[in-house]
């Protein structure tokens, strides 16, 4: 019975002090992280010369201060900057001329700070990227469908591809990333038309292509990448595009399906399964059907395996090995490598 009586006395003293004070303030029930908080104080007829708010993130030891300004004859306001509004809470008190009028430095008021779903998601993305928002990547691969002989003519069917790009992680959901890049794809394959007697081989592909890509994620873990390309082929300027739908994280466990079309060069469709069960060694296996390096070729099948090693300092080195074939009797080797730098 002694404790309730003591609490009642404390509450009565606080209530009497509040009623006697010329300043009345109703604290906000909660706040959102990284969002400014407006504090409003109502003053009586005997308004103080100055009103000051002292604030800090809950758990810190030093208060920052800001003077309230008049909104009208009875209301004063102050805005706590967004950088000071962080989980778990905002601690503050008000004083008039150095005398506390709401809470105090010893017993500041705490307003809970909630983290928005967007900020929570961005924090997870930032953790996955190691705090790095930019990436440079270069890759090269060699694709050989094998060599066959027709009428004592040796026909090769192969090409190489080089890609280089820059990526920036915006995390302005649903837009996650922007990429710009360069591609070179040159090969030799059986030609549909020959200057002499068929069969024969001819150079195919292009030496210069530029592209721009958007990475969209309407919900976390579900991603759609869309790319627009412009290239200079043997037949003139042409356009192309690429689309990939992915469930999961690209650098870890995921499932992806996509298609790439390059006018005058060919079309590819692929299915990829990636896994990140071994720390610092992401891997994936891909099945691809394609008629590269020219639109006139028969459909071929590629099966390849990728593995990467995280070296450290944002650097990762990867390798690719696989198999490519257009017929059941002739097949060749697929191999390549890549280097990724995050910063």
Whole domain around residue 73: which residue ranges? 22-114
The answer to whether 163 touches 181, Cβ cutoff 8 Å, is yes
The answer to whether 229 touches 213, Cβ cutoff 8 Å, is no
Burial class (CB in 10 A: 0-12, 13-18, 19+), 323: middle
Burial class (CB in 10 A: 0-12, 13-18, 19+), 127: exposed
| Whether residue 175 has pLDDT greater than 80 | yes
| pLDDT band of 197, cuts 50, 70, 90 | low
CA 16/CA 18 separation, integer angstroms? 5
CA 342/CA 179 separation, integer angstroms? 13
- 102, 197: one domain: no
- The angle subtended at Cα 270 by Cα 291 and Cα 169, nearest 5°, is 120
Of 78, 97, 114, the last residue of a domain is 114
| Whether residue 274 has pLDDT greater than 90 | yes
CA 233/CA 295 separation, integer angstroms? 12
CA 170/CA 217 separation, integer angstroms? 12
Tokens 């002694």 correspond to: 2
What does the CA dihedral 143, 295, 244, 328 come to, rounded to 10 degrees? -50
Q: Among candidates 141, 160, 159, 140, which has minimal Cα distance to 297?
A: 159
Mean pLDDT, to the nearest integer, of 230-244?
92
For residue 8, the model assigns a pLDDT of 37
- 55, 147: one domain: no
pTM to 2 decimal places: 0.76
Residue 56's CATH number: 2.60.40.10
Mean pLDDT, to the nearest integer, of 31-52?
90
The answer to whether 322 touches 305, Cβ cutoff 8 Å, is yes
Q: Among candidates 314, 246, 322, 320, which has minimal Cα distance to 280?
A: 314
For residue 7, the model assigns a pLDDT of 42
CA 293/CA 260 separation, integer angstroms? 12
Burial class (CB in 10 A: 0-12, 13-18, 19+), 2: exposed
List Cα–Cα distances, 315 to 130, 278, 308, 338, in angstroms: 12, 17, 10, 11
| Whether residue 83 has pLDDT greater than 70 | yes
- 99, 135: one domain: no
Mean pLDDT, to the nearest integer, of 187-192?
86
Is residue 182 domain-resident? yes
List Cα–Cα distances, 124 to 7, 118, 156, in angstroms: 44, 10, 48
- 237, 300: one domain: yes
Mean pLDDT, to the nearest integer, of 257-273?
96
Mean pLDDT, to the nearest integer, of 209-223?
96
- 104, 142: one domain: no
For residue 15, the model assigns a pLDDT of 39
- Number of domains, the chain: 2
Residue 153's CATH number: 2.40.128.130
> Which of 47 and 170 is assigned the larger pLDDT?
170
Residue 28 belongs to what H/E stretch? none
- 29, 151: one domain: no
Q: What is the pLDDT of residues 135-166, one digit of tens each?
A: 999 999 999 999 887 877 888 999 999 999 99
> Which of 74 and 167 is assigned the larger pLDDT?
167
Is residue 258 domain-resident? yes
The residues near 324 (Cβ < 8 Å, ≥ 6 apart) are 143, 144, 145, 146, 300, 301, 302, 303, 331, 332, 333, 334
Q: What is the pLDDT of residues 119-140, one digit of tens each?
A: 889 989 999 999 999 999 999 9
Of 84, 114, 144, the last residue of a domain is 114
Among 106-110, 170-174, 200-204, 259-263, the minimum mean pLDDT is found in: 200-204
- 109, 126: one domain: no
- 132, 108: one domain: no
Backbone angles phi, psi at 16, to 5 degrees: -65, -40
| Whether residue 14 has pLDDT greater than 80 | no
The residues near 338 (Cβ < 8 Å, ≥ 6 apart) are 137, 138, 139, 140, 308, 317, 318, 319, 320
Mean pLDDT of the chain: 90
| pLDDT band of 20, cuts 50, 70, 90 | very low
Other CB atoms within 10 Å distance of the CB of residue 199: 14
Is residue 184 domain-resident? yes
Other CB atoms within 10 Å distance of the CB of residue 92: 26
Of 114, 149, 168, the last residue of a domain is 114
For residue 270, the model assigns a pLDDT of 98
Q: What is the pLDDT of residues 304-324, one digit of tens each?
A: 999 999 999 999 999 999 999
CA 60/CA 104 separation, integer angstroms? 15
- 107, 201: one domain: no
For residue 133, the model assigns a pLDDT of 96
């Amino acid at each position: 019975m002694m404790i309730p009586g003591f609490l009642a006395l404390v509450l009565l003293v606080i209530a009497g002090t509040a009623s006697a004070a010329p300043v009345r303030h109703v604290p906000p029930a909660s706040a959102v992280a990284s969002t400014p908080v407006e504090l409003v104080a109502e003053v009586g007829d005997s308004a103080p010369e100055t009103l000051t708010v002292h604030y800090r993130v809950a758990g810190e030891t030093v208060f920052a201060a800001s003077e309230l300004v008049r909104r009208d004859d009875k209301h004063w306001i102050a805005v706590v900057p967004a950088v000071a509004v962080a989980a778990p809470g905002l601690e503050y008190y008000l004083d008039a001329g150095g005398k506390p009028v709401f809470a105090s430095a010893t017993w500041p008021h705490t307003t809970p700070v909630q983290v928005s779903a967007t900020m929570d998601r961005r924090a997870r993305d930032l953790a996955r990227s190691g705090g790095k928002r930019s990436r440079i990547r270069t890759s090269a691969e060699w694709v050989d469908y094998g060599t066959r002989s027709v009428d004592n003519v040796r026909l090769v069917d192969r090409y190489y591809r080089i890609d280089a790009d820059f990526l920036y992680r915006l995390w302005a959901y649903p837009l996650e990333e922007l990429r710009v890049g360069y591609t070179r794809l040159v090969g030799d394959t059986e030609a549909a038309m020959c200057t002499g007697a068929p069969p024969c081989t001819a150079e195919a592909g292009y030496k210069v292509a530029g592209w721009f890509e958007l990475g969209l994620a309407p919900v976390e873990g579900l991603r759609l990448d869309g790319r627009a390309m412009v290239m200079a082929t043997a037949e003139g300027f042409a356009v192309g595009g690429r689309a990939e739908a992915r469930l999961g994280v690209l650098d870890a466990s995921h499932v992806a399906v996509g298609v790439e079309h390059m006018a005058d060069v060919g079309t590819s469709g692929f299915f990829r399964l990636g896994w990140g069960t071994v720390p610092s060694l992401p891997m994936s296996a891909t099945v691809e059907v394609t008629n590269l390096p020219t639109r006139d070729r028969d459909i071929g099948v590629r099966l390849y395996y990728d593995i990467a090693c995280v070296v450290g300092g944002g650097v990762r080195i990867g390798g690719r090995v696989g198999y490519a074939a257009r017929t059941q009797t002739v097949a060749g080797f697929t191999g390549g490598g890549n280097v990724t730098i995050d910063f």
